[in-house]
Amino acid sequence: GESVGLHLPTLSVQEGDNSIINCAYSNSASDYFIWYKQESGKGPQFIIDIRSNMDKRQGQRVTVLLNKTVKHLSLQIAATQPGDSAVYFCAEMNNAGNMLTFGGGTRLMVKP
């Protein structure tokens, strides 16, 4: 079956530094990927998404990179702030295009 995973379960960064959260996926046919942020006590919040016909997509302070050759997805957060502290999930769309499969999540901790 399809699987989405994360290299690092916990990432600690200094405030102001850039953060990189990584995600590996196994289904080479996936054509849609998405990142969510989940703060304590809240539901996941959409950050950014990308389709497989793109390598890079930028949002406000965030960039998603997709490397289809090695089936790797990353989320880059520029100038990380305390408010960025949360658990970040990546997800990929299945072959049928009707279900997202989520990774286990990475906790980002921002040190002041």
Partner 1 sequence: DVKVTQSSRYLVKRTGEKVFLECVQDMDHENMFWYRQDPGLGLRLIYFSYDVKMKEKGDIPEGYSVSREKKERFSLILESASTNQTSMYLCASSEDRTKQYFGPGTRLTVT
The residues, ordered by sequence, that sit 6+ positions from 41 with a Cβ below 8 Å of its Cβ are none
DSSP β-ladder status, 106-111 and 86-93: antiparallel
Q: How far is CA 71 from CA 12, 20, 28, 77, in A?
A: 24, 16, 7, 20
Q: Which is nearer to partner 1, 36 or 69 (CB)?
A: 36
Could you tell me which stretch among 11-19, 62-70, 71-79, 92-100 binds partner 1 (CB under 8 A)?
Answer: 92-100
Q: Quick one: which of 1, 13, 7 has its CA closest to 90?
A: 7
Task: Scan residues 19-78 and list those touching partner 1 (CB under 8 A).
Answer: 32, 34, 36, 41-46, 49
Q: Which of 24, 65, 100, 109 binds partner 1 (CB under 8 A)?
A: 100
User: Which among 104, 71, 86 is positioned nearest to 5, based on CA atoms?
Assistant: 104
* Residue number, 77 or 93, with CB nearest to partner 1: 93
Least CB distance to partner 1 at residue 47 (A): 10
State the residues that interact with partner 1 by CB under 8 A.
32, 34, 36, 41-46, 49, 89, 91, 93, 97-100, 102-105
